[in-house]
């Protein structure tokens, strides 16, 4: 029997791209998961140095394929070359960040409470650490074909934790996905790790993805994409006999509040920065500022007119897929129909891609639907009279990845209530900046209350803390030293930071 195939589409031309990709069969997926299960024990027991070497080798293998990546992703995602070159660097840096975390080894949060037989009742010896969950599934995102896809942050953090990964490639960029898979496999081979530490499945539908999430040997899921997709995977994971966590990063409109004083002090620069933040990468960033709070009056008018002019001067964007373009056009039309909404930009030009759009609505006519994500280059400006009106409206918003305040230094102390409410709604607060750049580092939080993420903002999908999503806690009581994992042995052979009898020591 010939395998069913699918083809990606070049979003710029609408033409199908060669080659056709065979859809992974259920038997092939079963073999990949079995290999992951087979590799899990040895991978979990690998030393910090072995895991770090693997991730560093994967970073080098990604960089070695940079030209091929850029060529494939330009055709499959319609993103410009400089953006994709940057993404290659970001992907390699993420892998190296997690190599550092793995090498340091302290992320396991080892704790030792020594026994005290003299205490009444006697105190046992209790030691604990984080251990990898076992094989996990990762769903590649469409909007970062490298950095949030096959070799992206979810995969890097799971591998650093010692979990084999099976990726469901995003069907919009199979050739880019295949290159990333080859890079990771080559790195595993170079480091003498079993092939089962990494597998990939291809499918242009949902059947295999759901089967993967429901496979008894899969222990957690990482996902970035739509709210509908994320919730479908959460439901699939909950319907298992043994439910598993799904770390889904879904939708966010990233509210940005501008005070009149900030606009008077710095309006022109803010307009330039905001227009770029709304329309960069075709607005297809989870941190795109889709909801603005702008004061009524001269400073607010001038500012929004300036942003609108800059967006009108921006060429129409090629969106990642035909589906995303349709959803954008439908979402924009829906917002435009809402009572009180006025377009400030000229709007779509016939036969163009997605023309960046700025809409405006008086705060009295704001409805929660205007805070629904329209993925792409569109933003809604809510015009307010007094900042006190903005706080309750922000408090009623759904959870967000980010919330931004543009205010002068002199105003800041008087805005504690507003900042408090922003903090209850978002995972990252930005002051006098734009939310779109998500720095990869130790301190970054890329998460937030539902529906920004499915776990209520308890974790982050960017930055080194992402590793803890793929581990669980395990304690050992009264074990002899030789039977403990190295991280918990008295001699501390890996030299990691530990909490010993309540004191942080190395």
- Taking the C-alpha atoms of residue 194 and residue 43, their distance in angstroms, rounded to an integer, is 8
3-class SS at 151? coil
Residue found under tokens 């990726």: 167
E runs forming strands in 297-368: 342-343, 357-362
Q: Counting contacts by CB under 6 A, is residue 134 touching ligand NAP?
A: no
Q: Counting contacts by CB under 6 A, is residue 137 touching ligand NAP?
A: no
173 φ, ψ to 5°? -140, 65
For the window 280-309, what string marks contact with ligand NAP as x by the rule CB under 6 A? ------x-----------------------
| Residue (of 198, 172, 212, 152) closest to 446 by Cα position | 152
Q: Counting contacts by CB under 6 A, is residue 209 touching ligand NAP?
A: yes
Q: Counting contacts by CB under 6 A, is residue 206 touching ligand NAP?
A: yes
Instruction: Tell me the closest approach of the beta carbon of residue 460 to ligand NAP, in angstroms.
Output: 14
Other C-beta atoms lying within 10 Å of the C-beta of residue 501: 10
DSSP per residue, 280-311: GGGG--TT---EEEEESSHHHHHHHHHHHHHH
Find the catalytic residue in 163, 286, 373, 487.
286
Q: Counting contacts by CB under 6 A, is residue 6 touching ligand NAP?
A: no
Q: Counting contacts by CB under 6 A, is residue 141 touching ligand NAP?
A: yes
The reply to whether 286 belongs to the active site is yes
Residues ≥6 apart with Cβ < 8 Å to 346: 312, 355
Token pair recorded at residue 116: 């005290």
Q: Counting contacts by CB under 6 A, is residue 16 touching ligand NAP?
A: no
Can you state the angle between helices 153-161 and 81-104, rounded to 10 degrees? Answer: 10
Residues ≥6 apart with Cβ < 8 Å to 76: 8, 10, 17, 145, 172, 173, 174, 175, 176
Token pair recorded at residue 135: 């094989």
> Within positions 370 to 389, which residues make up the interface with ligand NAP, using CB under 6 A?
373, 375
Sign of CA dihedral 207, 22, 179, 39: positive
Q: Counting contacts by CB under 6 A, is residue 428 touching ligand NAP?
A: no
Instruction: Tell me the closest approach of the beta carbon of residue 472 to ligand NAP, in angstroms.
Output: 25
Query: Toward ligand NAP, which CB reaches closer, 212 or 422?
Result: 212
Q: Counting contacts by CB under 6 A, is residue 251 touching ligand NAP?
A: yes
Find the catalytic residue in 76, 203, 249, 487.
249
The reply to whether 249 belongs to the active site is yes
Q: Counting contacts by CB under 6 A, is residue 400 touching ligand NAP?
A: no
The only residue of 76, 87, 154, 249 in contact with ligand NAP, by rule CB under 6 A: 249
The only residue of 152, 171, 174, 449 in contact with ligand NAP, by rule CB under 6 A: 171
Instruction: Tell me the closest approach of the beta carbon of residue 475 to ligand NAP, in angstroms.
Output: 36
- Taking the C-alpha atoms of residue 197 and residue 188, their distance in angstroms, rounded to an integer, is 8
The only residue of 157, 224, 436, 459 in contact with ligand NAP, by rule CB under 6 A: 224
Other C-beta atoms lying within 10 Å of the C-beta of residue 153: 30
Segment near ligand NAP (CB under 6 A); pick from 35-43, 164-172, 299-307, 358-366: 164-172
Query: Toward ligand NAP, which CB reaches closer, 222 or 225?
Result: 225
**What is the set of active-site residues?**
249, 286
Contact residues for ligand NAP, defined by CB under 6 A: 139, 141-143, 168, 170-171, 204-206, 209-210, 224-226, 229, 232-233, 249-251, 286, 324, 327, 373, 375
């Amino acid at each position: 029997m010939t395998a069913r195939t699918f083809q990606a589409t070049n979003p710029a031309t609408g033409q199908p791209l060669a080659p056709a990709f065979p859809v992974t069969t259920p038997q092939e997926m079963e073999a990949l998961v079995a290999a992951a299960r087979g590799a899990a024990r040895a991978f979990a027991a690998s030393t910090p140095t072995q895991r770090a070497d693997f991730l560093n080798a994967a970073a080098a293998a990604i960089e070695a394929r940079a030209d091929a990546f850029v060529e494939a992703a330009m055709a499959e995602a319609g993103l410009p070359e400089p953006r994709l070159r940057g993404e290659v660097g970001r992907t390699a840096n993420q892998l190296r960040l997690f190599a550092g975390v793995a090498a340091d080894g302290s992320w396991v949060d080892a704790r030792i409470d020594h026994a005290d037989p003299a205490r009444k009742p006697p105190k046992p010896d209790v030691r604990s650490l984080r251990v990898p969950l076992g094989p996990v599934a990762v769903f590649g995102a469409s909007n970062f074909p490298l950095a949030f896809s096959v070799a992206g942050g979810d995969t890097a953090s799971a591998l650093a934790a010692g979990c084999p990964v099976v990726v469901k490639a995003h069907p919009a960029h199979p050739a880019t996905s295949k290159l990333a898979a080859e890079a990771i496999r080559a790195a595993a081979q170079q480091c003498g790790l079993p092939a089962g530490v990494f597998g990939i499945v291809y499918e242009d539908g949902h059947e295999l993805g759901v089967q993967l999430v429901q496979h008894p040997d899969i222990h957690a899921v990482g996902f970035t994409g739509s709210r509908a997709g994320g919730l479908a995977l959460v439901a699939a994971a909950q319907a298992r006999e043994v439910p598993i966590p799904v770390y889904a990063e879904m939708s966010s409109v990233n509210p940005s509040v501008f005070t009149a004083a900030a606009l008077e002090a710095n309006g022109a620069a803010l307009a330039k920065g905001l227009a770029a933040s709304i329309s960069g990468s075709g607005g297809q960033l989870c941190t795109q500022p889709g909801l603005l709070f702008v004061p009524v009056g001269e400073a607010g008018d001038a500012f929004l007119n300036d942003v609108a002019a800059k967006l009108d001067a921006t060429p129409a964007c090629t969106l990642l897929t035909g589906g995303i373009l349709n959803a954008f056009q439908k979402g924009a039309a829906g917002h435009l129909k809402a009572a009180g909404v006025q377009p400030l930009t000229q709007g779509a030009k016939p036969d163009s891609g997605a023309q960046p759009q700025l809409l405006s609505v008086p705060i009295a006519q704001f409805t929660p639907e205007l805070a629904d994500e329209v993925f792409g280059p569109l933003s809604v400006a809510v015009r307010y009279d007094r900042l006190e009106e903005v706080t309750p409206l922000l408090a009623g918003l759904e959870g967000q990845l980010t919330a931004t305040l543009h205010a002068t230094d002199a105003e800041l102390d008087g805005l504690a209530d507003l900042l408090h409410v922003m903090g209850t709604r978002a995972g990252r607060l930005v002051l006098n900046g734009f939310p779109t750049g998500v720095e990869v580092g130790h301190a970054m939080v890329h998460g937030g209350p539902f529906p920004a993420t499915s776990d209520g903002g308890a974790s982050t999908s960017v930055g080194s803390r992402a590793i803890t999503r793929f581990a669980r806690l395990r304690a050992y009581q009264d074990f002899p030293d030789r039977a403990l994992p190295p991280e918990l042995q008295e001699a501390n052979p890996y030299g990691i930071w530990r909490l010993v009898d309540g004191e942080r020591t190395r």
